[in-house]
Amino acid sequence: MPSPSSDKSTRLGPHSDAVSGARLLLQSKNRRQRREFLVEGPQGVAAALEAGWVKSLYAVDEFDELVRFAQRERVRVYHVTDAGLAAISETVTPQGVVAVCAMPDNSLEAIFGGTVVVCAGISDPGNLGTIVRTAAAAGASAVITTSGSADFFNGKCIRSTVGTFTKIPVVGPFSDAEVISHLNSVNLPILATTGNTEHVLGDESVRAINAGDHAWAIGSEAHGLSPEWLSAARIKVRIPMANGVESLNAATAAAICLFTR
């Protein structure tokens, strides 16, 4: 059944009920309560449509192809004015299309093998999204976030995944203790990134764990990993760097670890 706004002559503005309802999803508490989130931009929206996550689509004129895709998938489509689109966009220059998507039903209990990436206190949504993108590219099996990490369904985080947010399960946030307990229960050895250890990435002992199922724990740039994570690690690992350089961006460190075998 076509939506009331499927006719382009009827465009919804920022104060319409449909736009106002979607706008609520800019707040984390509403996302969690409704189990929905926003995806902005054609690349992310296309990925969400392909994954079957989109519940409704808001678009301006030039995205007819995505609109037709959505209509084929029986997704409700709203044609909006520029002001209507701006009301549900976080970017300074809106990208022309926004989708309301259902959150996937991923669980911690379903994570039991492969390469798992734990984002332990990664508070910057851009870094978290980049780590998710990198983990997907590296063939990791899942990403887990802990308390203190950014909300994965934050708009900046989703945009930073560049459309890969549907390609890998992301769960959390959980407490450090919950994640460590689960990894131990499924026998996933933990590799913890830190600058204070004798074990260098690429060492034989690190490669031996890397060859099987395992988890990488990546800490925040400001504080690194907590003592709880360092204590739980099978091996603490440092990335060799030039003299005078103390740390790397968390997303860069994750990429180096995930692609070093």
Find, among 84, 86, 90, the residue nearest to 154 by Cα: 90
Find, among 14, 57, 65, the residue nearest to 39 by Cα: 57
Q: Does residue 9 sit within a domain?
A: no
Q: Does residue 3 sit within a domain?
A: no
Q: Does residue 7 sit within a domain?
A: no
Q: Does residue 5 sit within a domain?
A: no
Please indicate, yes or no, whether residues 24 and 128 belong to a single structural domain of this protein: no
For the domain that residue 56 is a member of, what is the CATH number? 3.30.1330.30
Q: Which pLDDT tens digit goes with each residue over 82-94?
A: 999 999 999 988 8
Q: Does residue 75 sit within a domain?
A: yes
Please indicate, yes or no, whether residues 89 and 123 belong to a single structural domain of this protein: no
Q: Does residue 96 sit within a domain?
A: yes
Please indicate, yes or no, whether residues 84 and 197 belong to a single structural domain of this protein: no
Domain extent at residue 200: 108-259
Helix 64-72 and helix 42-51, axial crossing angle in degrees, nearest 10: 10
Please tell me the predicted confidence (pLDDT) of residue 95: 87
Please indicate, yes or no, whether residues 29 and 72 belong to a single structural domain of this protein: yes
Please indicate, yes or no, whether residues 205 and 147 belong to a single structural domain of this protein: yes
Per-residue CA distances from 84 to 18, 54, 79, 177, 198 (Å): 10, 19, 9, 43, 56
Please indicate, yes or no, whether residues 25 and 51 belong to a single structural domain of this protein: yes
Residue 184 token pair: 């131990």
Please tell me the predicted confidence (pLDDT) of residue 195: 83
Please tell me the predicted confidence (pLDDT) of residue 65: 87
Please indicate, yes or no, whether residues 81 and 197 belong to a single structural domain of this protein: no
Q: Does residue 4 sit within a domain?
A: no
- Separation CA 52–CA 197 (nearest Å): 45
For the domain that residue 121 is a member of, what is the CATH number? 3.40.1280.10
Please indicate, yes or no, whether residues 73 and 112 belong to a single structural domain of this protein: no
Q: Does residue 40 sit within a domain?
A: yes
Please tell me the predicted confidence (pLDDT) of residue 261: 81
HSE of 34 in the Cβ direction (CA atoms, 13 Å)?
A: 19
- Separation CA 193–CA 172 (nearest Å): 20
Please indicate, yes or no, whether residues 235 and 179 belong to a single structural domain of this protein: yes
- Please identify, among 45, 72, 102, the residue that sits at the C-terminal boundary of a domain: 102
Please indicate, yes or no, whether residues 243 and 139 belong to a single structural domain of this protein: yes
Per-residue CA distances from 50 to 39, 40, 46, 72, 183 (Å): 13, 15, 6, 11, 31
> How many domains is the chain built from?
2
- Please identify, among 48, 78, 102, the residue that sits at the C-terminal boundary of a domain: 102
Please indicate, yes or no, whether residues 96 and 127 belong to a single structural domain of this protein: no
Please tell me the predicted confidence (pLDDT) of residue 3: 46
The whole-number mean pLDDT for each consecutive block of 10 residues of the chain, a chain of 261 residues, reads 52 96 97 97 96 96 86 95 95 92 96 97 96 98 97 96 96 97 98 89 92 96 90 94 85 95 81
Please list, in sequence order, all residues whose beta carbon lies within 8 angstroms of the beta carbon of residue 100, skipping any fewer than 6 positions away: 22, 25, 36, 37, 38, 54, 55, 56, 57, 58
- Please identify, among 70, 102, 134, the residue that sits at the C-terminal boundary of a domain: 102
Please list, in sequence order, all residues whose beta carbon lies within 8 angstroms of the beta carbon of residue 240, skipping any fewer than 6 positions away: 200, 201
Please indicate, yes or no, whether residues 79 and 120 belong to a single structural domain of this protein: no
